[in-house]
Amino acid sequence: MDDKFIIDHILKSGNSNGYKLIVAKYSGLLFSKAVGVIKDETAAKDIVQQAFIRAYSRLSSWNGASLGPWLTAIAVHLALNELEKRRRLVTQPLNGREADAADEGYSQEHEELLQRMEAAISRLPERDKRIIRLHYYKGMKTKDIALALNMSTGNVLIKLHRIREQLRKDMQDENNE
């Protein structure tokens, strides 16, 4: 059966059993594309499932062209979104070290670094301190910070970047003294 016939049948009858054929036919393709983007097989499996669910919920918007590229575009888009989400969750230490404080346990050096960071934050202008507290301590997203502080999202992103750069510079200057 061709894809158009299966999709038309699903849309007309509401019977989703035919969708199993679509899933079976395109699962391998979507998985290979997703794993190629995200480089994580477990996440790629989840993305493939999400792609099929999203495609099913939007079957009526499919224009009848080749189904493979449409499904692939959905899967790749989801994989890129997941990569972006992961990128935002990854933070880099200001001193450039690749250390995971939770794995290291307590160390005097780490405690001193945290105290120096807190001191550097306390020297920031009040608005910058508030942005840092909302973003890092309260976990607010930039769009929510923008609403709370009556700023544009772009402006919050720029301020966060500049604040991080200022803190990095302050910490490096303190290390060089």
* Residue 49, CA distances (Å) to 11, 12, 82 in order: 20, 23, 14
**Which has the closest alpha carbon to 47: 79, 72, 17?**
79
Cβ neighbour number for residue 144 with a 10 Å cutoff: 15
pLDDT at 80 over 70: yes
Greater confidence (105 vs 120) lies with 120
pTM to 2 decimal places: 0.51
* pLDDT tens by residue, 86-109: 888 775 555 555 545 445 556 777
As a CATH number, domain 107-176 is 1.10.10.10
**Residue 45 reports pLDDT greater than 90:** yes
Domain range list for the chain: 3-89, 107-176
Amino acid at 129: K
Please say if the pLDDT value at position 46 is more than 90.
yes
The pLDDT value recorded for residue 97 is: 53
Contact between residue 39 and residue 87 where contact means Cβ atoms under 8 Å apart: no
Average pLDDT over residues 74-83: 91
Query: Phi first, then psi: what are they for 161, rounded to 5°?
Result: -60, -45
pLDDT over threshold 90, residue 47: yes
DSSP 134: I
Residue 57 has pLDDT above 70, yes or no: yes
Instruction: Provide the mean pLDDT of the chain.
Output: 84
pLDDT more than 70, % of the chain: 90
Residue 111: pLDDT above 60? yes
The secondary structure of 2-63 as a DSSP string is -HHHHHHHHHHH--GGGHHHHHHHHHHHHHHHHHHHH--HHHHHHHHHHHHHHHHHTGGG--
pLDDT value at position 96?
Answer: 53
- Helix, strand, coil shares of the chain as percentages rounded to 5? 80, 0, 20
Which CATH code is given to the segment(s) 3-89? 1.10.1740.10
